Amino acid sequence: MAATADLAFEDLDDDEREAVRTLLFRLADDEYVTAERYTEWQVRAPTLESDLALANIAQDELGHARLWYDLLEDFGSEERELVWERPPEAWHHATLAELPYEEGGWADAVLRSYLYDVAEDLRLAAVEGSTYTRLRDRVETVENEEDYHLEHAQNWLERLVDADAGHDRVQAALDRLFPYALTLFAPADPEVEARIDELGLRDRTLSELRRDWLDRVVPYLESLGLDVPDPGDTDLPSAVGRDGEHTDHWNDLHEEFTRTYRDLDRQGTVRIMPDPDDT
Amino acid sequence: MSSDTAADATYCTHTDYTEGDAATDLPATGEGSDGLAADVWEALHDVDDPEMPVSIVDLGLIYGVDVDESGDVRVDMTLTYTGCPARDMLTETVEERVAAVDGVESVDLRMVWAPDWSIEMVTEDGREQLREFGLSI
């Protein structure tokens, strides 16, 4: 399909809609859950400037998640259903996003942000020319807000590896996070992935994106004197997230961020006027 | 409970996402519009940004207003920032103010994110007001 095609929700059959949904859920959930974790740093980062930076980055990612959830609303759901009422097993973020930080693990936060933001950068570039118009129209806005995230992460990584203790902490974080970072490129369902590519929703396949990511991340981390695990010898963790399989940490996090919603007993739709179709 | 609610959520009125007359010249200010469209622009002009004393029209957030003869109004609007915490507040205000304009039957407010908002979208009047507010622009 030509990259200039303009696909709208109404043009798609059920299989094609599933492809769009899969892609959108992945974009949205990665951003949302990453932001949930970032917020834990808001008052715990090593400098006040970093408190602010992480808070701001989290705000950006929540904003981006919202743009993608908006598009999922076209499929008939509302924001509350997509976020607070969706059971944990129906979330599709990579498990990298949901892992708790190691205690006091600023190196973990910084490295994770770097690993994720490079993937994000490549993934957004791959949908700049998406055939799904409403997605394509939002990419530039998101990209413009992403630049400084990488800058922030790299700036900190470079400072941390400068001292032995910092270097060792980044290395430990890398050993722990690397297999989880590879889940960013794990397919949800290979058939659906193929449909995403055939429809031209993105112009790089997941395995191409994985290769592009390794081409950027590995030399950079090595230039910092870090030992990067061999991706060929690295097994994916048992839970990759994309298929709804998550670590136990996710249940805890989900429980936590939906608690207030449930405490307020907001399970039901509040109807303030009769449904026009029923009157 | 909640999971069932999500799974059973089938009720959704038909929404038409076909592209209409998107504004081509930005910033759009409604200059030269008349009749109901001019009244709608005036109402929009009275809505200020929640953080700065400048109208959302002068800030360049309104990308287009489309009015048909039965009084159905479509407003295309963006925000300066995707993570804007005032999004609902602002969109609700816009919907209320436009709906209150004499002759308006319905309001269809659409969030648009292309083209990306930038400082270039601020009108001359807007720049003047922002300078008075203390921003260098």
User: Do the domain assignments include residue A268?
Assistant: yes
> Is the pLDDT reported for residue B12 higher than 80?
no
Q: In this predicted model, what pLDDT tens digit does every residue of A245-255 receive, in sequence order?
A: 999 999 999 99
Residue B45 domain flag:
yes
**Alpha-carbon distance A160 to A224, whole Å?**
10
SS3 state at B62: strand
Say what the pLDDT of residue B136 is: 82
- How close B123 gets to chain A, by Cα (Å)? 20
Res. A114: pLDDT tops 90: yes
**What ipTM does this complex have?**
0.72
% of chain B surpassing 90 pLDDT: 64
Q: Is residue B51 part of a domain?
A: yes
In a domain, A145, yes or no: yes
Could B9 and A78 be called an inter-chain contact, meaning their C-beta atoms sit closer than 8 Å? yes
Q: What is the CATH number of the domain that holds B71?
A: 3.30.300.130
Total residue count of chain B as it appears in this document: 137
Is residue A213 over pLDDT 50?
A: yes
pLDDT for B134: 87
Residue in B13, B63, B116, B120 to test binding to A, most A beta-carbons within 10 Å: B116
- Confidence band of B2 (pLDDT split at 50, 70, 90): very low
Residue B134 domain flag:
no
Residue B118 falls inside a structural domain: yes
Task: For residue B122, give the 3-state DSSP assignment.
Answer: coil
Kindly state whether residue B71 falls inside one of the protein's structural domains: yes
* Overall domain count for chain B: 1
Instruction: For residue B6, name the pLDDT band (cuts at 50, 70, 90).
Output: very low
Tell me, yes or no, whether B9 lies in a domain.
no
Q: Which residue of A has its CA nearest to B10?
A: A76
Q: Identify the CATH number of the domain in which residue A171 sits.
A: 1.20.1260.10
Residue A248: domain span:
94-278
pLDDT at position A242: 94
Express each pLDDT in B90-122 by its tens digit: 999 999 999 999 999 999 999 999 999 999 999
- Is residue A244, in this structure, part of any structural domain at all? yes
Residues A67-71, mean pLDDT to the nearest whole number: 96
- Considering the domain boundaries, does residue A233 fall inside one? yes
> B17 vs A53, which has greater pLDDT?
A53
The mean pLDDT value of chain A amounts to 92
Are the C-beta atoms of A45 and B53 separated by less than 8 Å? no
Mean pLDDT in chain B?
Answer: 84
**What is the pLDDT averaged over residues A190-215?**
97
Residues of chain A by 3-state class (helix, strand, coil), percent to 5: 70, 0, 30
Q: Is the pLDDT of residue B1 over 50?
A: no
Question: Quick one: average pLDDT of A134-152?
Answer: 94
pLDDT, tens digit (0-9, with 9 covering 90-100), for A90-105? 999 999 999 999 876 8
For residue B45, the enclosing domain spans 21-122
Domain membership of residue A98 (yes or no) is: yes
In a domain, B104, yes or no: yes
Give the pTM: 0.83
Rounded Cα distance between A26 and A116, Å, is 13
User: Percentage of chain A with pLDDT > 70?
Assistant: 93
Number of domains composing chain A: 1
Establish, for the pair of chains A and B, how many residue pairs have beta carbons separated by less than 8 Å: 77
* Chain B contact for A267 (CB, 8 A cutoff): yes
In this predicted structure, what is the pLDDT of residue A272?
Answer: 62
